[in-house]
Structure 1
Amino acid sequence: MSILQKLLNSDLFKKKMTLSRYQYLSIEAEINTNIYFIESGSVRIFIRDKDEERIIRFGYFGNIIVSLDSFLSGKPSDFFIQTLKKTEIRMASKKDFYEFIHSSDENLKFWILILEDLVLQQMEREKDLLINSPRERYERVLKRSPQLFQEIPNKYIANYLRMSPETLSRLKKS
């Protein structure tokens, strides 16, 4: 049994929630120290920059998501987490999650792997934003996360890639 299966079969993610389309799981300036597993549906994590939303991450089936700044610091988050369609999640508190990961070396290694993966994803994201060509950004994300294009509407992917929906549409067609 994988550690993720063990995690899901444990009593850790006790609380199940069904959220409707466009419902907020977390909002800016709110302290949110819960950790979530997405059973179905999809979410976007974004920040507001004046009047613009800037998407920094997506989550869909099988992903663990968290308002990481608030989870780690216990302080209000700068981010929003919003569903993009009806989404079913399982939730665990930080306290319960930390008890779980400290209950065995295997569980602690799992948490370290999650954190390492997040750091690597963030590094890839920064590379994406530094690459000038919209085509290169599109191709890198398509290669890294092909499922994204099945789960997430194009207008949100375009925002994530820092391009217009029309540019994304042209790139997908070519």
Structure 2
Amino acid sequence: MKLFNDLQTQKVSKGTILLYKGDICKSVYRVVKGCLKSYVVDKSGKEHILHFAAEDWLITDMDSFINSKPSNIFINAIEDSEVSLITTSDYNNISQLSHDDLLEQNNKLINNLISTNKRLMNLLSATAEERYRDFIETYPTLVQRLPLKLIASYLGMTPEYLSDVRRKLVQK
């Protein structure tokens, strides 16, 4: 059994919220086409993007999905998208995967953890230019697809400041 074979797929219109804060997350979304984002909203109503998921990326609230806890995040479609759904029952049958498929999924989880740790370190200690360069390296297809304000939110800066960073990079 391959984890992503024969999964339910769903078309999702731009702007559709797939997970609301407070709901129990019932799916891991694998993006077939399009782009999703996960984010939190602070007390002042400001959105902080945690993660983008473009083609072949996964996105979920793992704590909510695994532990049936209320989610702390939102997930929504920022483009018309198509996603494959890994449900809790699919996940509970993971033991039916072959050894090679389990290794592949383990490697994806490890890469996700590495990427998350790198992102956290960048937010804490990298310059704005370094964070933007890392974004380009991590999400090369999204640089031209996403509005500047979404990229800026992800990088922890204003759109105006990101414009300055981009302008300085072009001048170099």
Q: Which residue of 2 aligns with 1:30?
A: 23
Query: What TM-score, normalized by structure 2, do the two folds share?
Result: 0.88
Question: Contact between 1:33 and 1:67, CA under 8 Å: does it hold in 2?
Answer: no
* Per-residue CA distance 1:26-61 (angstroms, 9 max, x = gap): 110100131221111111100111121111100111
Q: 1:170 & 1:112 partners in 2: Cα distance? A: 39
1:90 aligns with 2:84: yes
1:143 aligns with 2:137: yes
What secondary structure is seen at the aligned counterpart in 2 of 1:61? coil
What secondary structure is seen at the aligned counterpart in 1 of 2:93? helix
Q: Which residue of 1 aligns with 2:75?
A: 81
User: Quick one: structure 1 residues 101 and 154, their matched pair in 2 at CA, closer, same or farther if it must change by over 3 Å?
Assistant: farther
Question: Contact between 2:3 and 2:97, CA under 8 Å: does it hold in 1?
Answer: no
**Deviation of 1:150 (Å):** 2.9
Q: 1:114 & 1:125 partners in 2: Cα distance? A: 16
1:154 aligns with 2:148: yes
Q: Which residue of 2 aligns with 1:105?
A: 99
Query: Given the alignment, which residue of 113, 123, 146 partners 2:117?
Result: 123
Q: Return 5+ residue gaps in structure 1 as ranges.
A: none
What secondary structure is seen at the aligned counterpart in 2 of 1:81? strand
Q: RMSD of aligned C-alpha atoms?
A: 1.8
Q: 1:141 & 1:7 partners in 2: Cα distance? A: 28
Q: Which residue of 2 aligns with 1:164?
A: 158
Q: Which residue of 2 aligns with 1:40?
A: 33
* Per-residue CA distance 1:134-172 (angstroms, 9 max, x = gap): 122112222333223133221111001011111112222
Query: Given the alignment, which residue of 5, 11, 14 partners 1:18?
Result: 11
Q: 2:15 & 2:127 partners in 1: Cα distance? A: 31
Q: Return 5+ residue gaps in structure 2 as ranges.
A: none
Instruction: Return 160-169 or 147-156, whichever deviates more.
Output: 147-156
Question: Contact between 1:101 and 1:107, CA under 8 Å: does it hold in 2?
Answer: no
The one-letter amino acid paired with 2:56 is G
Percent identical: 28
